[in-house]
Structure 1
Amino acid sequence: MVVALVVVAAGGCQWPRDADGTADRVRDGTIRVGVANNPPWTVVDGGGAGREPGGVEVELVRRLADSLGARVQWVPGGEAELMAALSERGLDLVVAGLDAESPWEQDVALTTDYLTTDEAVAVPAGEPVDTGTHLAGLDHVMAVPPGENAWQSTVERFLLELDEDEVRRLLDTHRAGT
């Protein structure tokens, strides 16, 4: 009886839901994306007004926007100010080369990781990472406003569908500066 009541009650609900309707607003609209400089993940050129950022995550956000029929409004800034704006819902997404051990996880929602990279030292330029001393693996994530569960699910679904080899090629390209 209780199970049937829960099923009937949940039948009329859209799950997951956003507190502020971000997923519905950005579809065919605008995604407000905070971007902090952290090459090769995100590259913000402070030299020219109106210049588009670059980097691996910037390319991924462009692809996400394309999949939603949306355009991107880039908001460059420092990581701390962008996370404050995200937690207050002034932004829809922050990309800054974040990893799952981000100190911001108490203030914002972090996506599931989309790529794990190795951190190493003593690696000559152009050599594979496995020739150096392995420090740790970093699980790369993006940040969304807290409570925007449908939006977070949309972003995570996009990230989980990425081809890891393609993301690694993007990373190699941006590391090489091309």
Structure 2
Amino acid sequence: MASTAVARRRGWTRIVVVALVVLSAGGCQWPRDADGTLDRVRDGTIRVGVAHNPPWTIVEGDGREPGGVEVVLARRLADSLGARVQWVPGGEAELMAGLSERGLDLVVAGLDARSPWAQDVALTTDYLTTDEVVAVPGGEPVDTGTHLSGLDHVVAVPPGENAWQSTVERFLLDLDDDEVRRLLDTHRAGA
């Protein structure tokens, strides 16, 4: 009987501890950013690294603003936060170093979830899956029905910026897949 009473007391103790944790967490902002990225970019500036990888990202190198599917999405994200975008063009390795050192807030580069950078930066949940298929040469691409693999498209954020990453992921996951595919078709066509 003594062991039953001890077990009940431990059970109640666990319930009380969990309740206290939940109640105390209610006053805390969760998730949190290690360096306050979300608070800084909201109504401010998002520093977006962009590497050339058409049709996802198009960097001309002649001083013009970049283009491509993910550039459009980064602009929309900024608009949703009342922020402006500061574009930082560069090579993927250079941009990922800048992201991990917190010199950038976001990198768009046509990345997929199998990116080798996943150990250095934080990758978002995939927002779109595209199939790589065997096609025949010619005018219009013809799907032969042979699918090689699927690519899960992601963007990169600084590690430890959990509130920022959650905000970016919510934005991406709220996107309409058909709209993103239309953007993709438009940028593939060079429009």
**TM-score, reference length from structure 2:** 0.88
Match of 2:12 in 1: none
2:170 and 2:136 map into 1 onto residues whose CA distance is 34
Count of matched residue positions in the alignment of Structure 1 and Structure 2:
175
1:33 pairs with one of 48, 56, 61: 48
2:37 equivalent to 1:22: yes
Gaps of 5+ in 2: 1-15
CA deviations over 1:2-50 (Å, ceiling 9, x no partner) = 112212321221000000000011011000000000000000001x12x
Match of 1:158 in 2: 171
2:33 and 2:174 map into 1 onto residues whose CA distance is 22
SS of equivalent residue, structure 1 residue 169: helix
CA deviations over 1:142-177 (Å, ceiling 9, x no partner) = 000000000000000000110000000000000000
Between Structure 1 and Structure 2, whose CA radius of gyration is higher? 2
Match of 1:79 in 2: 92
Give the direction of change, closer, same or farther, for the CA distance of 1:77–1:65 in structure 2 (3 Å limit).
Answer: same
Q: One-letter code of the match for 1:161?
A: D
Match of 1:143 in 2: 156
Q: Greater strand share, 1 or 2? A: 2
- 1:123–1:132 CA contact under 8 A, matched in 2: no
**TM-score, reference length from structure 1:** 0.95
Match of 2:78 in 1: 65
2:146 and 2:26 map into 1 onto residues whose CA distance is 53
- 2:134–2:144 CA contact under 8 A, matched in 1: no
SS of equivalent residue, structure 2 residue 141: coil
